[in-house]
Structure 1
Amino acid sequence: MPQLNPTPWCAILIFSWLVFLTIIPPKVLAHTFPNEPTSQSTEKPQTNSWNWPWY
């Protein structure tokens, strides 16, 4: 039964993991976000209450 021979499958597994670990992480880490987050001020904005008649 050829599927029980670990020689080619082990080499394919190791080679594919080496490819994944050397090519994909730099591409993912080089990704930049279009909008960088900005820090919010610590002051709370002034909000006016609504004065609606509910009748």
Structure 2
Amino acid sequence: MPQLNPNPWFAIFMFSWIFFLVILPKKVMTYLFNNSPTPKSAEKPKPEPWNWPWT
């Protein structure tokens, strides 16, 4: 029965796990996000009073 021969499948299994554990994380970690989050200040900005033209 050829489906029980582990020779080609074990190599495919090992190469796929090497790819997932070694190569892919390097590619994912070098990805740069377009919008990097900036920390907000803890102080709330004071609202400006409205300048009503009819008053």
User: Structure 1 length normalisation: TM-score?
Assistant: 0.64
Residue identity opposite 1:38 in structure 2: T
Q: CA deviation at 1:46?
A: 4.2
Residue of structure 2 in register with 1:52 after alignment: none
Aligned length: 47
Runs (4+) of structure 1 exceeding 6 A deviation are none
Unmatched 5+ residue regions in structure 2?
48-55
Unmatched 5+ residue regions in structure 1?
48-55
Deviation string, structure 1 residues 13-40 (Cα, Å, up to 9, x no partner): 1012113333211110001111111111
Residue identity opposite 2:27 in structure 1: K
| Partner Cα distance (2:19, 2:42) in 1 | 46
> What is the root-mean-square deviation of aligned Cα atoms in Å?
1.7
Residue identity opposite 1:13 in structure 2: F
Question: Aligned residues: percent identity?
Answer: 57
User: Structure 2 length normalisation: TM-score?
Assistant: 0.64
Residue identity opposite 1:21 in structure 2: L
Matches within 5 A, 1:1-55: 1-46=1-46
